[in-house]
Amino acid sequence: MKYVGKSIPRIDREKVAGDAEYAYDFTLPGMVYAKLVAAPYAHAKILKVKYDEALKVPGVLAVFTGADFPFKVGIYAADRDVLAREKVLYYGHPVAAVVAETLEAAEKAAELIEVEYEPLPPVLDALEAMKPDAPLVHEKLHEYKHAPFIYPKPGTNIATYLKLRKGNIEEGFSKADVVVENTYYEPLISQGYLENWVGIARVKSDGTVEIWSSHQSPFAVRNLLATSLGLPIHKVVVHHMYLGGGFGGKAGLLLEHIPVLFSMKLGGRPVRLELNREENSFYMAQRAGYYFKMKTGATKDGKLVAHWGEYILDAGAYADYTVNIARSVGLKPFGPFEIEHVHVDSYAVYTNKVPTTAFRGFGLMEVLFAAERQMDLLAKKLGMDPVEFRLKNVLVPGKSLTHTQERLREDAGDPAGAIREAARLIEWGKPPEQPKEPWKFRGKGFAAFWKGPVQPSNAAASAIVKLNDDGSVDVLVGTGEMGQGTITALAQIVAEELGIPVEKIRIAPERRTDMVAYTWQTVGSRGLFSDGQALIRALEDLKSQIRKIAAQVFRVFEDQIEIRDGKACVVGEPWECISLAEMALGYMYPNGNAIGGPLIGRGSHVPVRNTIPDPETGKSVPAPFYTFGAGAVEVEVDLISGRVKVLKAVMVLDTPAINPMLVAGQVYGGTVMGINIALIEELKFDENGRLLNPNFTEYKVARAGDIPDEMIFKTLGVGQKDAPYGAKGVGELTMLPWPAAVANAIANAIGVELYELPMKPDKIIEEVKKQRPELLEKVKEALKIKG
C-alpha cells in the first residue's frame, strides 16, 4: 500500500509551529470572567453565604450560590450540584461564584465572600464508606436519575455495583491445587495533562448556546449539556479546539454547564471560567482509587480454574465516569486468560474526596496490576515459568470463552504471539547481568494485557467526505484530537482509498458539532476503529458515485471502473481516465451537457455485535474488538536509595498499524507514563480530606531521567477483518502492563512482593525490612556500616 502502513508525519503540525489555538486563547467581545469559591471542609452543612462586600467591588456583575441553580447534573447519574447546596461533599467543593468584568475583580470579590459551615464527619476511605454505619455522602441517592445500567444502593454510599458470574465458583476452587489470595491497593492519581481546563459560553438571542472548552468529546459535551439543562440538542453548539492532553480527564461533561448557566443569568453575555493549576486539581475530576480483593486458583498442571474478586473503586463525591469504570473492571476482571469459574462483584463507592472520572485505560491498567501479580505468584507456587504459565492459559481466538461468556471471534488477534514475542525481545530465558555494586539488584518482569472499548451498543460514528473541484478532499468527522494522531491515520485511509496524497486531504483539528458528522465519544481507543469504519463506508459511497459518472462517460459498466492515483479509469485501459477533479462538481461533456453534481460521500458505523450485560451474570459481548499485547521490563533496584530504575522496556501489540510512527509515539509516551504511575504518582490527602499536592511541584510526573534506557516496540500485524485495514485501537493499551511488569521485576530482583502502588523508595525499603532483612545486612556489610 502507498499510504496505509507508512510513517507519515502528523497533519496537525500547528502545535509545533505555534499556530494552534486552544480554549485558553479564545476570547469574545464583551466577555466577562467567573471565579469559584471553594469549601475548606470535606463534609459540612452550609449555614449561610455572605456576599454583600463582594458585590461592592467595582466591575462585579453578580454573585451566584447553589440556591440559584436548584437542580442536579451528571453523566451517568444526576448527582452533581452546579454549586454546592445544603452541604459540601469534598474539600474544594465550589459553594459560590463571582462574575465580573475582569478576572482581577472576580478574584478580589471571591476573597470577600464568607461562608458559615457546620462540619460533618467525612468518610475518606472506600472500604470505610461501605460499612453500614458510615456517614452518607448522598442521603437523597434514591431521588437521583441515573442510566439504566447503573445500579445505586440508596441508603448506602454505593454509587453502582456490577455482578459477574461464570460457572460455579465453589466447584472451581474445589478443583484448585494452589490458591493465591491478596488485596491490592492503588491510590487516586491525576491525569496530569498540561492544559488547565478553560470554558467560554454564550447564549445568543435565538436561544442557541455556544461553548468553547477543553474537552475530548464534542458530541458528549453537547448531548450531556442539553440533557442536563433541558435544552434542545440543536440549540447547543460545542466547539472543539486544540487540546493540551486529556487522558480521560476531559471526557464527558466537565464544568461547561457553569459558564452556560451564568451566561443565561446575565442576558447572554459571554462568560469565561478558567482554572489555574491548583484549581484544576480541586475542581476537575481525578482518577479513582482502587481496592482489589482477589482469590485465584489453579491446578498443579498449571491450569487456571477459579477467580473470585471484590473490586471497590473510590468514586469521590460524584459518580461521573467511575460508575462506568466499575463496569469495565467487572466485565474484564482478569487478564487475557480463560477461566472456567468466575465470581466478581465490582463497586463504585462515594467518599468525601474530589470527584473521580475516566483515566487512560479505563480501569484495565489498575485491574491488570493485581491480576498479573496474581499470575506471577501462582506461577511461583506451581514452580512454573511465568511466561509458560501465561501461554498455558491465554485466550485462543475462535475457541475460548471470555469472562463474560463471549466466544472470542477467530480473527480477534494473537494473544499468544504477543506473549512469545515480548519474551523473546526481553531475552526472558537469559538472567540479567548483575551490577558490580552489591547493593544493586536486577530482575525482569512480565505482564500480558488486553482491552476493548467499554461503550454502549449504540455508540455510533459517522463521516462525510467532500470532493473539491481541484481533486482535494474535506473530511468531516467528530472525533476529538488530543494528541493521539487519529486524524492523521484517517487521512491516510482517505489517501489510500482515493489514490491521492495526504497533503490534499483536510481534516480540521478544530470543529463544531453543527458542522461535522456525529461520533459518540473520543474515548476507549475506539476512534480509529469506529470512525475509521464510518469513513471507509463514506469513501465507498463516494467511490460509487465516481464509478457511476465515469461509467456513463466511457459507456462501460460501473464494475469496469477503478479508482487510482486520483483518477477514475477503465480497467485494463489506463489511457481512458478522468481526474477526480473533473467530476467533483459534475462532469461536463465537450458540448456543455453536464451529469452528476457535487460529490459527497456519507458513511456510518454502530457496534452491531455489542450486547447489554445481564444484570445477574454480566453475560454479554461488551466490546467490538480486543487488542492484545504483552510488556516486559528489566529493572535495577538500589537498596541504598530504594529507587527503581527501568533499564529496558519491551512492548508487543498484535494489531497492524495504519501509521507505525504514530503508534510508536503512543507506546513511548504510554510506557513512560505507566512506569511513572507504578513508581511515583499519588494524590495525597490529610486526615481532613484536603488534597496536599495540587500542583506539579508536589505531584511528581516523569522527567527525562525517568525514561528507560532502552525501549523496544513491535506490532505483529494480525488484523481483525472488520477493522479499518485490520487495525485496532492502541492509545490506551500502551499504559496497561507497566505497573504489573515493574512489580514482578522487583520481586524477581530482590524477592520482595509488593501489593500497593506507587512503589516508592521508602515503601520498598520498608518491605525489604519485613520480607528480606538479610539483604540490608549484606548492604551494611558491603559499606562497612555497623548497627
For residue 35, what is the domain's CATH number?
Answer: 3.90.1170.50
Distances from the Cα of 550 to the Cα of 271, 358, 542, 555, 597, angstroms? 53, 49, 12, 8, 13
Q: For residue 151, give every residue at least 6 positions away whose Cβ sits within 8 Å of its Cβ, in sequence order, or none.
A: 160, 161, 162, 615
Give the number of other Cβ atoms within 10 Å of residue 503's Cβ: 11
DSSP 8-state code for residue 559: G
pLDDT of 509 reads 80
pLDDT of 787 reads 57
Give the CATH number for residue 719: 3.30.365.10
DSSP 8-state code for residue 635: E
DSSP 8-state code for residue 737: T
Separation CA 201–CA 209 (nearest Å): 7
Number of domains in the chain: 3
Range of the domain at 89: 31-120
Is residue 318 domain-shared with residue 335, that is, in the same domain?
A: yes
Is residue 659 domain-shared with residue 684, that is, in the same domain?
A: yes
Grid cell listed for 409: 471471534
568 touches 577 (CB < 8 A) = yes
pLDDT of 510 reads 85
Separation CA 375–CA 343 (nearest Å): 17
One DSSP character per residue, 572-607 reads: TEEEEEEEHHHHTT-EE-TTS-EE----EEEEEE--
| Of 551, 433, 534, 543, nearest in space to 499 by CA | 543
Which residue ranges in the chain fall short of pLDDT 70? 786-787
- The sign of the torsion formed by the CA atoms of 762, 763, 766, 767 equals negative
Is residue 441 domain-shared with residue 460, that is, in the same domain?
A: no
Please report whether residue 209 resides in a domain. no
213 touches 228 (CB < 8 A) = no
Give the number of other Cβ atoms within 10 Å of residue 278's Cβ: 14
Q: Where are the alpha helices (DSSP H) in 319-363?
A: 322-331
Is residue 640 domain-shared with residue 762, that is, in the same domain?
A: yes
pLDDT digits (tens, 9 = 90+) for 649-694: 999 999 999 999 999 999 999 999 999 999 999 999 999 999 999 9
Is residue 775 domain-shared with residue 669, that is, in the same domain?
A: yes
- The sign of the torsion formed by the CA atoms of 576, 582, 584, 586 equals negative
pLDDT of 457 reads 87
Please report whether residue 242 resides in a domain. no
Distances from the Cα of 474 to the Cα of 484, 516, 539, angstroms? 20, 11, 12
Question: Three-state SS for 676?
Answer: helix
Residue at which a domain ends, from 120, 137, 152: 120
Q: The cell 493540551 sits on which residue?
A: 244
Residue at which a domain ends, from 552, 572, 605: 605
Is residue 639 domain-shared with residue 754, that is, in the same domain?
A: yes
Please report whether residue 320 resides in a domain. yes
Distances from the Cα of 707 to the Cα of 159, 485, 649, 650, 783, angstroms? 38, 22, 10, 13, 29
Q: CA Rg, the chain, in Å?
A: 28
Please report whether residue 190 resides in a domain. no
Is residue 362 domain-shared with residue 486, that is, in the same domain?
A: no
pLDDT of 786 reads 66
Please report whether residue 503 resides in a domain. yes
| First-residue to last-residue Cα distance in the chain | 68
Grid cell listed for 91: 474539600
Grid cell listed for 196: 488547565
| Of 364, 521, 358, 363, nearest in space to 455 by CA | 521
318 touches 255 (CB < 8 A) = no
| Of 143, 148, 153, 137, nearest in space to 71 by CA | 143
Question: Three-state SS for 133?
Answer: coil
Is residue 482 domain-shared with residue 620, that is, in the same domain?
A: no
Give the number of other Cβ atoms within 10 Å of residue 131's Cβ: 12
The interaxial angle of helices 386-393 and 364-382, nearest 10 deg, is: 110
Please report whether residue 56 resides in a domain. yes
Separation CA 482–CA 246 (nearest Å): 7
Is residue 51 domain-shared with residue 69, that is, in the same domain?
A: yes
Q: For residue 364, give every residue at least 6 positions away whose Cβ sits within 8 Å of its Cβ, in sequence order, or none.
A: 328, 329, 332, 449, 450, 451, 732, 736
> Structure pTM?
0.96
| Of 142, 109, 129, 152, nearest in space to 43 by CA | 129
Give the number of other Cβ atoms within 10 Å of residue 587's Cβ: 19
What is the residue type of 591? N
Is residue 39 domain-shared with residue 100, that is, in the same domain?
A: yes
Q: What are the phi and psi torsion angles at 248 (to 5°)?
A: 90, -20
394 touches 419 (CB < 8 A) = yes
Please report whether residue 737 resides in a domain. yes
Is residue 599 domain-shared with residue 658, that is, in the same domain?
A: no
Grid cell listed for 308: 473470585
Residue at which a domain ends, from 64, 98, 120: 120
DSSP 8-state code for residue 435: P
Please report whether residue 733 resides in a domain. yes
- The sign of the torsion formed by the CA atoms of 171, 174, 180, 185 equals positive
pLDDT digits (tens, 9 = 90+) for 460-485: 999 999 999 999 999 999 998 888 89
Separation CA 193–CA 199 (nearest Å): 16
Question: Three-state SS for 712?
Answer: strand
- The sign of the torsion formed by the CA atoms of 470, 472, 475, 480 equals negative
Distances from the Cα of 352 to the Cα of 43, 408, 689, angstroms? 6, 41, 7
Is residue 302 domain-shared with residue 450, that is, in the same domain?
A: yes
DSSP 8-state code for residue 406: P
Contacts 24+ apart (CB under 8 A), 274-279: 274/24, 274/33, 274/103, 274/196, 274/197, 274/198, 274/199, 275/196, 275/197, 275/198, 276/196, 277/196, 277/694, 277/695, 277/696, 278/694, 278/695, 279/36, 279/38, 279/196
